[in-house]
Amino acid sequence: MSPIVVSGIAVMTSIGANINDTWDGLLNQKNGAKPVSSFPINEHKNRNACEVTDISLFCDRNVVKLGRASSMLITTIDDALSDAKVEINQIEKCGVCIGTTMGELSGITNNSGAINKYGPHILSENIKKHYNISGPSWTLTNACAAGNFSIARAVDELEKGNADVMIAAGVDAMSWVAFTGFSSLRAMSPDICRPFDKNRKGLILGEGAGVLILETLEHLLKRKGSAKGTILGYGFNCDAHHITQPDPNAIGAVLAMESALKNANLTISDIGYVNAHGTGTPANDLMEGKALYDFFGEYIKTSSIKGNIGHTLGAASVIEAAICIRVLEEKLVPPTANIENLDPNIKVEVIKDIPQHFDYKFIMSNAYAFGGINSSIIIGRLN
């Protein structure tokens, strides 16, 4: 079976409209949190979020009409296709997988008034129409793990021969619904997100998009392209512990990592770094710290980028996968932002303060979601 390779990556976040600006922001511990501007927040106690500013400056105005989530996604797909040096109209079989939590929430207005086109499925409809894609099309709504699911589904389609190229994407736009929901759960920090810090107070919501262009190695070589990395395996499960709280025993999280390694035909010693879900909530960070310690032991290294860009929900794990590709390319891991006092209950090594050199071939990236969903993917260098 031909390996599945990553030929292009792109992101849009609150600290950078593209992968290069976001990467520089991560290395320099830039913080995207600021008072929300997308909707009135007078009724909310928590008022900060990591919004993408000035979308109209770098998104085509015809694309902006499709809605905030669609415009961020299409602009990011364009960047990823450019990075992969591939013309989508020259691909015989191209498909798309989109991970999201809220989908497209913007109404579309024309001369006849408002058209109430909203929901997750609108994203795939907009993408298929914009790029004239006729291959496999999926919209996956596994909440905060949806990005990892979109990558895995894209891999499956390529392995089955249903496509030559798959656009694996994640996107979520800032919304009153999500902001109010997380606020009512008392899961949000009043100021900034501090993953793995002893005094962390919760997450900060973010918005953005992440895209990986995936293709078979056979197709890549045929078109004389170059690979940035490869997707080696994944592991998913649902422990159904609680509707919102993670299992403190971390059994499902450990099983997901175990399944991913088995699927990738790797061992624990092959993994030099784990990109953490790292939301900055007390329960999630403790669960994830325990899962990593139980599975890898105290010497595994981990970090989270949510202190910089917030929790971008369905976009999070695709953005993080793109950053993992950059880690492999640059041999450098950005530090976890905003840590003042590392929680002593986190027994693994959390990368903080300054970027750290990285010279392993393989990275694990984890994402978790409400309802007990656990997900892990393995990303590596091709050679």
| Statement: residue 108 has pLDDT above 60 | no
**156-209 pLDDT, tens digit each:** 999 999 999 999 999 999 988 889 888 888 889 999 999 999 999 999 999 999
Please tell me the predicted confidence (pLDDT) of residue 109.
39
Residues 194 and 274 both lie in one domain = no
Q: Which amino acid is at 296?
A: F
Please tell me the predicted confidence (pLDDT) of residue 162.
97
Residues 17 and 159 both lie in one domain = yes
Residues 182 and 267 both lie in one domain = no
pLDDT band of residue 113 (cuts 50, 70, 90) is very low
Domain ranges, residue 282 = 232-380
Domain boundary (160, 191, 222) is at 222
Among 104-108, 175-179, 255-259, 273-277, which stretch is predicted with the lowest mean pLDDT? 104-108
Q: What is the pTM of this model?
A: 0.96
pLDDT band of residue 117 (cuts 50, 70, 90) is low
DSSP state of 198: T
Residue 133 lies in a domain: yes
Please tell me the predicted confidence (pLDDT) of residue 372.
95
Residues 244 and 187 both lie in one domain = no
Residue 227 lies in a domain: no
Domain boundary (158, 192, 222) is at 222
Q: Tell me how many domains the chain contains.
A: 2
Domain with residue 44: its CATH number is 3.40.47.10
Residue 192 lies in a domain: yes
Residues 48 and 147 both lie in one domain = yes
Q: Is 8 helix (H, G, I), strand (E, B) or coil?
A: strand
Summarize the confidence of residues 245-253 as an average pLDDT.
Answer: 96
The full DSSP string for 237-296 is EE----SSSPPTT-HHHHHHHHHHHHHHT--GGGEEEEE------HHHHHHHHHHHHHHH
Q: What percent of the chain has pLDDT over 70?
A: 97
Q: Which amino acid is at 301?
A: K
Residues 194 and 251 both lie in one domain = no
Residues 249 and 218 both lie in one domain = no
Residues 141 and 52 both lie in one domain = yes
Domain boundary (222, 250, 270) is at 222
Residues 52 and 190 both lie in one domain = yes
For residues 153 and 40, the model is more confident at 153
Let me know how long the chain is: 383
Residues 180 and 74 both lie in one domain = yes
**265-294 pLDDT, tens digit each:** 999 999 999 999 999 999 999 999 999 999
Q: Which of 356, 316, 383 is nearest to 147 (CA)?
A: 316
Please tell me the predicted confidence (pLDDT) of residue 56.
76
